[in-house]
Structure 1
């Protein structure tokens, strides 16, 4: 069964007023929201706090990647904000991911902790440029296995890799998939994109979508159409 809040709306704005105008049109019972580097850097933690007060589950998408102690403290600070999910880079290694996981032990309202595998803006030529020789899928699978071994809750990956990951990770291991586009939408800076229904069919749990919803004339109607498309016929 598809999670009734499988959609995560990416709030890629520069100011809180734009965020609040959009979320006034959204229903927190139908979707979650994502705060990334753009909004967080412009507005700060108050953006998260205001969204939490409005009843939204917030995915704080800052992709922490640093020495273990620094990442552990950052993840702890994210949890203090009341976020539903936060993330790190799996390429930071098992010591860093273990430290992040341990920072959340014992918390009553512990957020999901996920790890980024390979950015959906990267194709195989981009990976080769930074020294990785081989298919993007092999890199994603290796990092997902490392993430699962470290005890995290899931990974951020392209939906193009979801079906292969479902063969090698536990069914409860979450797959969070950005780069989701409706048919006919511009790809923007994404290179490994999938439409919503295909992503869910491949095994994705959560779909991160931005302009397809935020630029719609009626964002909540767009969400309802997308959710309807995810249900089995």
Structure 2
């Protein structure tokens, strides 16, 4: 299981200050909507300038018509990131189109599909998808698996079931991880490290428990020891 740290601070300078504090650790860094829209590709270059060995997860959740998603995926290839994601609800044709487009590259990033956002509770999810979270997450994951993706984004509570209906090698990345039982904030389906381990999670995403800490490096060290 690997640690992915969310760079969700209000400014580029604050995010890069955090990166400086944790530059000696072998971790993934997640660049999401706010950071990428505000700071662009230069932000990724700035991270790599601090430590070129950092692995970058570009969390933009591509969702559009198939050809547009494939165009965007191909553009991502030029950014030097190590992982990105699409929305499974865009459908199998869209996911398959993305993967077919990337076939021509000798080396490509890991591609994940978002199943059910961890901010959803059951009632909210039912309003949108007319199905319960566990069942729909399984269906989305199976679609992604059949479309040739490498894994999915899901909560820790769906990870084991998804592994069972796809493959143990099919990756699960889980946001909403509160390593030592911290406050859930705006997330609904949160878990700790022990539960993530038991659910065979491959990547845990941790944000606020690290970047809100007085000593982020100390928290990273503690999490890595736990992993």
Do the two structures share a fold, i.e. TM-score over 0.5? yes
* DSSP-derived class of the 1:24 partner: helix
Aligned-partner Cα distance in 2 for 1:45–1:17: 15
* DSSP-derived class of the 1:167 partner: helix
What are the within-5 Å matches in structure 2 for residues 1-233 of structure 1?
2=1, 6-27=2-23, 29-53=25-49, 54-55=51-52, 56-133=54-131, 135-230=132-227
Contact 1:94 1:147 in 2 (8 A): yes
Contact 2:95 2:147 in 1 (8 A): yes
Structure 1 unaligned blocks of 5 or more = none
Structure 2 unaligned blocks of 5 or more = none
Cα root mean square deviation, aligned: 1.3
Aligned-partner Cα distance in 2 for 1:30–1:197: 20
Aligned-partner Cα distance in 2 for 1:161–1:82: 30
Q: TM-score, normalised by structure 2?
A: 0.94
Q: TM-score, normalised by structure 1?
A: 0.92
* Distance change >3 Å, CA 226–CA 81, structure 1 → 2: same
Contact 1:59 1:83 in 2 (8 A): yes
* DSSP-derived class of the 2:21 partner: coil
Alpha-carbon deviations, 1:169-222, whole Å to 9, x = none? 112111000010133411111000000221022110000010111111221221
Aligned-partner Cα distance in 2 for 1:198–1:104: 34
CA drift of 1:229 comes to: 1.5
* DSSP-derived class of the 2:5 partner: strand
* Distance change >3 Å, CA 46–CA 12, structure 1 → 2: same
* Distance change >3 Å, CA 181–CA 67, structure 1 → 2: same
User: Is the deviation greater in 184-193 or in 44-53?
Assistant: 44-53
Aligned-partner Cα distance in 2 for 1:11–1:197: 23
